[in-house]
Structure 1
Amino acid sequence: MNLLRYLFLAGVCCISLLPVLRAQSHQDSLLVALQQELEGGDSTRVAFQYIVLGNLARDSSDFEEALSYYSLARTWAPSQNVSITSVAVNQQSLIWQKQGLIDSALQQLTEVVAQARQAPTPQVLPAYTTLGNMLRSAGRKEEAMQYWQEGLTLAYHLQDTLYIIDLQSNIARRYREKGNYPRALQLYLESLSLGIALGNLSEQANLYNRIGVLHYNQRDYDQAINYYRMAFHAHRQSQSLRGHVQAYSNIGLAYLEAGQLDSARWYYEAAIPQAIQLNYSHNLGWNYYGLARIALAEGHYTEALNAAYRSLPPRTQRKNLLGQSYLVLGNIHRALQVIDSAQYYYAQARLLSQEAQDAILNRNALEGLSWTYQQQGRYDQALGLYQEYKTMADSLNNEENTRTQALLAAEYSFQMERDSIAQAQAYAEATFEKDLQQRQYFIILTLGGILGLVVLVLVVGNAYRQKRQALAELATLHEEVAAQRDRLDQALLTKDQFFSIISHDLRGPVNSFGSLAYLLKDYYVRGKHNELPALLNALETNSKGVSQLLDNLLTWALQQQGQLTMKPQHLPLTILVNQVMDIFDYQAKSKEIYLRAEIPKDLKVYGDENALFTILRNLVSNALKFTRKEGQVLIMAEATIRGTQIQIADTGLGMEPEKLEQVFRINEKLVTRGTAGEKGTGLGLPLVKEFTEVQGGNLAVESHPGEGTTFTLWFPNPKEAAQEPQTDEHGKDAPELENSVLA
């Protein structure tokens, strides 16, 4: 046993050393190549090899060796080659920043940018970004803004979309810090449109997150949550696990600030195990901090203490998080009336707020310290701290007022336009008022004549009321008849369309059977055996189409007659989806379409097996029909708190908005041929809609012409199946997607 244990440990050590050995092997091969370049005398290639070696050393955390390689790259780079110099200086500066040598980094970057103005290249754009970020960190925010704007102009000139997005986002962040939220939002949305056009999911996720932060700062927590969720989906599509976890934490924080503690707790608890798995300690600390605040708000002080202690990072790291954790620990001990401990934690929070230059944390810590001194009877110290607290609070309020004034100034032009409209409305109202006064004057003059008719009115009033009542009853009856007529007309129209589909779509395939049979016989007699496989394939395709048409017709007829009984049960979704995929495997391969599913192994859905099979069969058939060669059809599913969500997405033709509005109606005119000429019936999607709703679920479709279509199904758990209207897992009405229809 000991021998086996040693062998196992040795194997683990060897496996752990493989990346190191692989990196060392790569470095050795680069050194060999570098020696060859040195002998060849090509200085540009030598400088490039030194940059690659520097990157390897940096990735191995050997920063001194990396700095040495970058310096050699700058030495070997030709004087006219700004590109290599810019890359080397940018990488050096990032290392110097980590080492605290900010002045050296700023000096080198400034020189590179000045040199690049004479011969701008795409490789200098990272230097603009890095220089702006360092200046911002050093508190020189207006200088940072100038370099970002200069870099943005260069990026537009070079048509480098990625750095247009990056630099424009930094500028938007600066506008956000200055309180000019409309301008910041405008820039973020412009960058987002570029990221979407570029298809860069990582940039899209970052921008969704920044727009969410913008709404969070404005205390518009609902909008912040919406954008954080979009960031989550973009991170999930780009397989960014850390971004996925960060989005969960952001959603939790927004729910916490909005006072929705249960939803906040759900997201924090969902993020924690993933952060542990990824060793994402920074995110893990903020999640425990959020749980501590929730427990404190609910009066669960032991739970709050445990979460707060677990949120504490090392003293030398993340001072902002450490300060917030000390503050919440102070608040917990304050609630427990443990004055000395509360005072200690408030003092630590204040010290860290001064180091991190966090004015809000400093204000809150001052208020807590003042309270502890007051409780100890040390009123002079309490008064001094309280005066500091009030000064800090007034200063922050003034900054908030300044941001508000900037926001009002940004909306000034819009307000002017609204004022002009209001003036026009006021003029119209004044004219109307004058006309009304003239009419009232005329009424007063004629009042005497009207009074003479009062007696006559009283006599005929009763008869008039009876007549009006009769007319009202007649109008009600007329409305009922009209409604019944409309329903009958709709039923007749549906019937006509139904029989039109039957006569058209059955007549063609049946006639084809006769033609194919004749050709089979003729080719067989004449010995044209090579032609038979093509006819057999056509016969198989024709028969499958007729079979699917008859299945849909029979199912639709039974549903309309009320003879289709739903028997809901918990069903393994993976098995059901695999059965559907087996049916369409040949069709997908023949069209060279990638048909795949991403479904958790143990996921179950509550519903009728036959109805769910019909829904999935029609949606997958529809997706394959309208997807081009080498496209893909993806079936996804996930469990929510109150049900199961299923998505069928394709990269096919997509639909125009006007067609999207009528996609669930039976209408022969809406039937469209597929990418390989496949003929539809017009019954599939109406069946999908009816079978989804009859099980208490809902259905949404999102489509973009030329990009594809996504159908989203939601089926409730048994205890939710009878509730109306359908809601999402947080108790809100299920949202409609952009460019989508909610059935």
Structure 2
Amino acid sequence: MRQYIICVVLCITLQHFYAQNHLIDSLQNRAEALPAGTEKVNTLLHLADYSADNRPDLAMEAAISARQTAETIGFYAASIKASLKQADLLVKQYRTREAHEIINQAIELAERSGEKILLTDALFAKGNCYNQEGKYDLSIQFTKRAITMSEQVQRKPGFLAGRYCHLGAMLRNTGAFEESLEYCHRGLAIYQQNKISAGVCYALTQISLVYAKMGDFSKSLEMEEQSLAVARESKDEYRQVVSLHNICDLLIRLGDLDKALQLTPEIERLNPVLKDLNADIELYKLRGRIFHATNDPEQALVNYQKGLAVANKTNNAAYIAGVWQDMTPSLIALGQTDKAEKGLRKAIKALEVNKDTITLESLNIQLGEVKIAQQDYETAKTIFNKVAEWYGLKSMYLESAQVYDKLAEIYLKTQQMDEALKAAQKNLELCEKTRSKTAIADAHHLLYRVFKELGDFPSALYQHEAYFLLLDSVKTIALRRRLSEERVKQNVEDLEDEKKRVERESALLLVRNRLYLTLGAMLLVILIFGSYLYTQLRRTRKKLDVQNQELTQLNQEKDKFFSIIAHDLRSPLAAFQGVGAQLKYCLEKGNMAMLDKISDMLTKSAANLSGLLDNLLSWALLNRGMMPYQPEPVNLHNTVADTFQIYENAAAAKGIHLENKVPSEISVQADLNGLQAILRNLVGNAIKFTPAGHNGLVSVSSEVESEKISITVQDTGKGMSAEKLEKIFTLEKRSDRGTAGEKGAGLGLLLCKELVELHQGVLKVQSTEGKGTSFVFSIPSA
């Protein structure tokens, strides 16, 4: 069963993969086939969107082609969209200089063409490009301008909310915390109002990060836990893993390591959801911090250098600075202070250009640490005092406390005890504002050392007791962790053996799974082939059933046809029996009146027989598909006149008036023989069923309808019932005798219907008993 499921999943995965590639290939082929125009541009834009993740080179090529084609045909909106797509792809490749040039052109074109919404998109793209470079002041400038324009053109609430929070994040990096919170809360309110759960999580996380930067870790934790609750409720795994990372960091800062440890398994399970180069950098930095904490600066430096290599590829000054900030303690431990100073100063210079003040001050702290290691205490004090002053202005309590801690250490080393006490007390004051147990404990320990150096042992004892009281729970958890690490070390050999055993079993399982997959694929092919054969069999059987039904119907019609022939040919032929003897008798006796009567009878019988044979022949040819059909322009008026001439004597004998209402200029595109057969049968029937001696009338009229001519044959005869009308065009109806006893075969109307359809027309009938009948059919006009 498991192998079957694996086979099905594999098939579905392959189907999705090939479907996606097929869509990309189809768009590519369509774009190449289309001429330059709006449809080609839109197809290229779709191709760029669909191939951006899997085939970025193709996406770039499509975006460039779309832009060039749009510029050629003057399709300005599409040109702007294509430019922004190209810029986005360049930013992802960290080619920001080229992206700036293209975005500037898009902004200029949007302003010139009056595309306000696209102008806001271009301004946001410009801000994003600066943000990627770590130039937050310029990023904020363009983002604020874009937001103002977006509000003016009333863009969608969810879009604006995201931009508010993004701007808040950039303001946070510059230390403008109040303005940052204002924008983040504005975005949160919109997300909540529109019930966008992912947006609510994002906004709460941004607010949490602002409070963390301000040093209020308890408030930061509260906001992030709210974000996690919303993410879990909406089953948003990406937002869950982001919140869990942040919560763990905050719990470590607050000294609640037990709760942080409980969350790590969930982080490990969800962490692959994050896909970002910065995530790779953070992973290397995390490993570096771990090795440094275990007194292995060499291995720590290896990981930091890997992270620095990735950061250099991004060309992001903030990412590079972050690696140098974490790497500096390991370089100091290895005595490589000159290398650390050189790297820090280069990173500081890049940040000063970008005006990234938050990261800049963090690097200045590390530079101060390097100066301490080089025993250049005066330079270190100058650096730390400047940083402490800046942190104080921004109310960044934890960062400011850390700086005062370092100043106190310098004063202790230089035996400036009064200054050391002031710095240590300031450190405690700031740590208490952060409500971080670990930070407060460290502040008490620093005061303990200062009072001990001053000889104030009661105060030193008080600080020492406070230190251990706060640190007790933290140390308990740390002890548990060390014991757990020791147990892991003792089980290393067992784990290695287990690993080898699992590898062997995995290899065997892989071979077996391949065999199952092969068998499954073969079974799938057999099932598909079997399904195909079964479908073909059912299709063939259904076709045979239809053919059997048609054959049965044809046999039935054949039987009816021969029945008609046997019945209706007998009467005209019977009229010829004994005619010779009668003629001889009349001639011998000189009975001319009887001869006239016999002559009329023979003429009528011959005409009926001729008409019957003509209809039988025509109907047979039609059913065999051999009826000649050679349409040509035919004068309808003359054709009707010729038909009336044939039936002139028969009509006169019954006192019926024949009226040709067709204008002389009317012509139709018809087969002359077929048209004559239609008129001959319809006019003959009209005369046949119109009683004598009642001023009967048979008329033929026409009406022009678009590209067709509608022809009506109308009589004042006895009409037909509704029951007869239903079967009038079938073999099931037997021909009735005329008002003067005229006979027929019943094929005339069926033949008329099929001949009219051969002319792409329709034959209709309207009749009322006792009032007459009208036959209407259409023929293409000439």
Report the TM range for the smaller structure's normalisation. Answer: 0.3 to 0.5
Higher relative contact order (CA 8 A, sep 6+): 2
TM-score (norm 2): 0.42
Which structure has the greater CA radius of gyration? 2
